[in-house]
Amino acid sequence: MLRYILKRLLIMVITLWIIITLTFILMVSIPGSPFNSERSSNETIQANLESHYNLDEPYHIQYLLYLKSIVTFDFGPSIKKPDQSVNELLGRGFPISFELGIVTIIVAVISGIILGIIAALRHNGFIDYMAMGIAVLGISIPNFILATLLIQQLAVNFDIFPVATWKSPAHMVLPTLALATGPMAIIARLTRSTMLEVLTQDYIKMARAKGLSPWKIIIKHALRNALMPVVTIMGTLLAGILTGTFVIEQIFAIPGMGKYFVESINQRDYPVIMGTTVFYSAFLIIMLFLVDIAYGILDPRIKVNKQGGE
Amino acid sequence: MKKFLVLLFTVFLVAVLAACTANENAGEEEPADDAEAAEENGETGESDEASGEKILRLNNGVEPTSFNPSIGFDQVSWDPLNNLMEGLTRLDKESKAGPGAAADWEISEDGLTYTFNLREDANWSNGDPVTAEDFVYAWKLMLDPETGSQAAFLAYFIKGAEAFNSGEGSADDVAVTAVDEKTLEVVLEAPTGFFLDLLTNPAFFPVNHKVAEENPDWHAEAESFVANGPFKLESWEHDSEMMFAKNEEYWDADAVKLDKVHFEMVNDTNTQYQMFESGELDTASIPPELSDQLIDGDNVFIGNYGGLEFYRFNLTEEPFQNKKIRQAFSHAINRADIAEFVVKNGVEPAYGFVSPGFITPSGEDFRDVNGDLTTFDAEKAKQLLEEGMEEEGYDELPPIVLSYNTSDSNKAVAEAIQNMFIENLGVEVSLENQEWGVFAEAQQNLELQFSRSSFINDYNDPVNFLESFITDSYMNRTGWSNAEYDELIAKGKSETDEEKRWEYLLEAEKLLAEEMIAIPIRYYNTVVLEADGVSGILRHPVGYFDLKYADVE
């Protein structure tokens, strides 16, 4: 097990380095500079700005500066928000995105699994169609449409919730609903299809034959195996949702970190691009690693510590 | 069909359930959030009334770039900063430069030396007096090449400033001196008729040098921020909200009616409008798709905003080296239709370059004096095109690509123009859109043939825009060079006789229109929804908004 973990850690570091290098190459190869603007300017000012942010250095020096900033976990100040360091931006935005993300995941997973199980048990019945109907709607309605609809109905027309911003638990309800619907639908469909498969397996018949109660069979025997695909997508889902979502955060004016992924690229804010990329990649890689570990715990047939046993 | 109905019913049921359960939660958490506020469109919240404080609730859109006066070179920084600080002069209710931190000033005969007498009662929010040294410190910091200030060019009118900023001179040669604690002397490079107006710009705000020397990041947090304007920074939760409170140390604090100003940072037009609708904001902008419905309402403020949307020709690429072809393209555009049906929101079509609102020494509007410099005239357009093509020996025009940076509104305008060229000129141009950074670089390098631009004035003088087109200017971006024009602008900057100086600028604009190196499309404006009871917010055509006299009921 330990050897496996060490090997994985090494691969993680190499992966991260490749991502950083590719990001740097892509970053410097897109045209434009952080200081392009319609506002008045002149060559002197542009030159001063470039030297202030070390952008007049040759690329290999800039690359080394970036690697240094990553190793020391200090990405320096943002170019577009010079009073704040990238660490501050991420340190402030991430907890908020994380908070929203965790609540969303909990809502999505619980409601998704319940919907999926119910649909599978009432296969091809009325409830199955209802549950899957909701799932199809959840997948096909983009979350920003849902967000606008929720604001219009629940915040403006009925005034139950505040429209936007991030100040109290009441402010969390609408963005959570908007954000959770999509993942919930995906999880519901996954759970349903694997549940259907598992329920026809021999060991389920065996459990039934032993006379176990139906609920015990479902929870202990069927669900455990049916959850494997759900666990598989959890890695990417967690990394995606926990690090913030640009659109939902923009609509609800949530000061999370989702916006930095998009804005930093549009604004050519190089330190922020690097910071967000490294942060997200590291987060994603760790999540995938945890998922692999979780496989072993959930399904004894998968042994992570044996050669080729992944 | 039956299944579908069942499905619909289910969805409805889930929605209702969600709404009901959610309702209970909300009730517990926010008892103050009553339904009345939403019905009475945009009324000031009850809680504000209860505490007896006058709070104006605004939206800043996003986090300010920086509250360091020489760094935050944009509206989201300078709009709030304009209310926290005050320069030597401040724009008054008529949008003219009036006394600010300086009570009065003397200007020498030759128009080069300005001596400002600071107010004895001008203080910082921490009680320190506002001194001449604070201005010297701030301006030299802005001009220091190490600072990397984007606003530094605004100070190039001061003697020695440009040399210092470009790394050739030294800070000591910048002609700004503190004669004594309350007297500041500034020597200019050349007489500059709009210098007092320029000083209202936030780039020229003072910096409390005692505070700044101790803590260079004094402007980054509310705790360390020192203000000398009508308000002080009470709290600042980055990326989320700011609270300003009345600054009792301000020399004119009696004129300030508001107790507090609260800024949200909501960067979505629809969301901020809905917050206004539900009474969470006192002002809002109009979402483009609701423009037709809302623009004629009683609660809408519409004012000039010194700026122009235009299209640049690239004179180094065929066929735009030819003046008549350029003129033909300009005459083929129906600007009134673009303003009314495409851009909407009450904007004015542009038949000249300098936007309305610049007042000549004799009290007339620059725009009215020069009048319309181009027209919509399809016949004339066709004729000019024919003549131009003959001059160049074209049987047909080379292919033309019209470029714009990606945005919904730019696309709508570009498509309308494309259509007008086909209809009125018989010329088919192809459209191309690019991401902003890519577009801006290509335009700067003269790689685009015919491209969109916009200009927002930094200070209240036509030379600000007109200067863009002098030979080899960084802002030129057309490949145009004209000695006569360069001469007119040089005189338009340094002539001491104000009447004559404006004459030169009027001439310059006429020449620009005659050569038609860029096609004006429409002027910018300011459109704001204001809740009932909000009054006194000054929104200047050029400059940043002022809440000094603002009030809420």
A137 touches chain B (CB under 8 A): yes
User: Do A170 and B25 make contact, defined as CB atoms within 8 angstroms?
Assistant: yes
Both tokens of B441, joined, read: 């670089």
Share of chain A above pLDDT 70, in %: 97
Task: Provide, as residue numbers in chain A, all residues whose Cβ is less than 8 Å from the Cβ of B10.
Answer: 130, 133-134
Distance from CA of A237 to the nearest CA of B (A): 24
A253 touches chain B (CB under 8 A): yes
User: Do A83 and B71 make contact, defined as CB atoms within 8 angstroms?
Assistant: yes
Q: Which DSSP string corresponds to A181-195?
A: HHHHHHHHHHHHHHH
For residue A305, what pLDDT is reported?
A: 53
Nearest CA in chain B to A46: B150
Distance CA A280, CA A72 (A): 17
Candidates A37, A148, A164; nearest CB to B266: A164
Distance from CA of A67 to the nearest CA of B (A): 24
Confidence tier at A168 by pLDDT (50, 70, 90): confident
Predicted confidence (pLDDT) at residue A308 exceeds the cutoff of 60 = no
The DSSP bridge partners found for residue B106 are B115
Q: Are B475 and B440 in contact (CB under 8 A)?
A: no
Pairing of strands B55-59, B260-264: parallel
User: Do A39 and B440 make contact, defined as CB atoms within 8 angstroms?
Assistant: no
For residue B23, what pLDDT is reported?
A: 38
Claim: this prediction has a pTM higher than 0.80: yes
User: Do B149 and A151 make contact, defined as CB atoms within 8 angstroms?
Assistant: no
For residue B524, what pLDDT is reported?
A: 95
Distance CA A217, CA B483 (A): 90
Confidence tier at A304 by pLDDT (50, 70, 90): low
Both tokens of B92, joined, read: 């008054």
Task: Provide, as residue numbers in chain A, all residues whose Cβ is less than 8 Å from the Cβ of B25.
Answer: 169-170, 173
Give the up-direction half-sphere exposure of residue B60: CA atoms within 13 A in the CB hemisphere. Answer: 29
Neighbours of B267 (CB within 10 A): 19
Task: Provide, as residue numbers in chain B, all residues whose Cβ is less than 8 Å from the Cβ of A266.
Answer: 435-437
pLDDT tens digit sequence for B32-54: 333 333 333 333 444 444 568 89
CA dihedral B231, B232, B236, B239 (to 10 degrees): 40
User: Coil, strand or helix: which one is A166?
Assistant: coil
Hey, of A30, A39, A88, A247, which one would you mutate to test binding to chain B, going by the most B CBs within 10 A of its CB?
Answer: A39
Mean local confidence (pLDDT), B312-323: 94
Backbone φ and ψ for B455, nearest 5 degrees, come out as -140, 130
* Lowest mean per-residue pLDDT among B2-16, B96-110, B517-531: B2-16
For residue B289, what pLDDT is reported?
A: 85
Delineate the domains of chain B, giving CATH numbers in brackets. 19-67+73-80+233-303+526-552 (3.40.190.10), 85-214 (3.90.76.10), 307-524 (3.10.105.10)
Q: Are A257 and A89 in contact (CB under 8 A)?
A: yes
Predicted confidence (pLDDT) at residue B153 exceeds the cutoff of 70 = yes
Candidates A35, A83, A170; nearest CB to B66: A83
ipTM comes to 0.83
Number of helices (H), then strands (E), belonging to chain A: the values are: 14, 0
A171 touches chain B (CB under 8 A): no
Distance CA A195, CA B523 (A): 63
A250 touches chain B (CB under 8 A): yes
Distance CA A113, CA A163 (A): 30
Predicted confidence (pLDDT) at residue B399 exceeds the cutoff of 50 = yes
What is residue B145's DSSP assignment?
A: G
B443 touches chain A (CB under 8 A): no
User: Do B468 and A52 make contact, defined as CB atoms within 8 angstroms?
Assistant: no
Both tokens of B492, joined, read: 């338009």
Residue B278: which of B10, B34, B76, B25 has the closest Cα? Answer: B34
Distance CA B492, CA B360 (A): 13
For residue A230, what pLDDT is reported?
A: 86
Q: What would be the CATH architecture of the domain defined by A88-265?
A: Orthogonal Bundle (1.10)
Q: What angle do CA B411, B413, B414 make, to 5 degrees?
A: 65
For residue A243, what pLDDT is reported?
A: 76
Q: Which DSSP string corresponds to A44-98?
A: HHHHHHHHHTTTTS-HHHHHHHHHHHHHTT---B-SSSTTSBHHHHHHHHHHHHH
pLDDT tens digit sequence for B344-383: 889 999 999 999 989 898 999 999 999 999 999 999 999 9
Domain layout of chain A by residue ranges: 88-265
Distance CA B399, CA B449 (A): 10
Candidates B14, B219, B453; nearest CB to A38: B453
* Lowest mean per-residue pLDDT among A53-62, B19-28, B187-196: B19-28
Both tokens of B231, joined, read: 């308000």
Task: Provide, as residue numbers in chain B, all residues whose Cβ is less than 8 Å from the Cβ of A43.
Answer: 474
Distance CA B174, CA B184 (A): 13
User: Do B240 and A165 make contact, defined as CB atoms within 8 angstroms?
Assistant: yes
Task: Provide, as residue numbers in chain B, all residues whose Cβ is less than 8 Å from the Cβ of A160.
Answer: 19, 22-23, 26
Mean local confidence (pLDDT), B312-338: 95
User: Do A51 and B145 make contact, defined as CB atoms within 8 angstroms?
Assistant: yes
* Lowest mean per-residue pLDDT among A210-214, B133-137, B203-207, B418-422: A210-214
Distance CA B56, CA B48 (A): 10
- Contact residues, B window 421-440, toward A, CB-based 8 Å cutoff: 435-438, 440
Hey, of B43, B271, B407, which one would you mutate to test binding to chain A, going by the most A CBs within 10 A of its CB?
Answer: B271
The DSSP bridge partners found for residue B353 are none
Close Cβ partners of B262 (under 8 Å, ≥ 6 residues apart): B55, B56, B57, B58, B241, B242, B243, B244
Predicted confidence (pLDDT) at residue A193 exceeds the cutoff of 70 = yes
Distance from CA of B393 to the nearest CA of A (A): 36
Nearest CA in chain B to A160: B23
User: Do A49 and B67 make contact, defined as CB atoms within 8 angstroms?
Assistant: no
A52 touches chain B (CB under 8 A): yes
Predicted confidence (pLDDT) at residue A310 exceeds the cutoff of 60 = no
Confidence tier at B339 by pLDDT (50, 70, 90): very high
Distance CA B117, CA B103 (A): 6
Give the up-direction half-sphere exposure of residue B422: CA atoms within 13 A in the CB hemisphere. Answer: 9
What is residue B128's DSSP assignment?
A: P
Distance CA A114, CA A117 (A): 5
Hey, of A40, A84, A96, which one would you mutate to test binding to chain B, going by the most B CBs within 10 A of its CB?
Answer: A40
The sign one gets for the Cα dihedral B483, B489, B493, B498 is positive
Mean local confidence (pLDDT), B161-188: 95
Confidence tier at B540 by pLDDT (50, 70, 90): very high
Residue A292: which of A307, A310, A305 has the closest Cα? Answer: A310
Distance CA B412, CA B415 (A): 5
Distance CA A301, CA A220 (A): 16
Tell me the pLDDT of chain A averaged across its residues.
87
Close Cβ partners of B36 (under 8 Å, ≥ 6 residues apart): B46
Nearest CA in chain B to A168: B29
Distance CA B444, CA A229 (A): 52
Predicted confidence (pLDDT) at residue B314 exceeds the cutoff of 90 = yes
Distance CA B62, CA B544 (A): 16
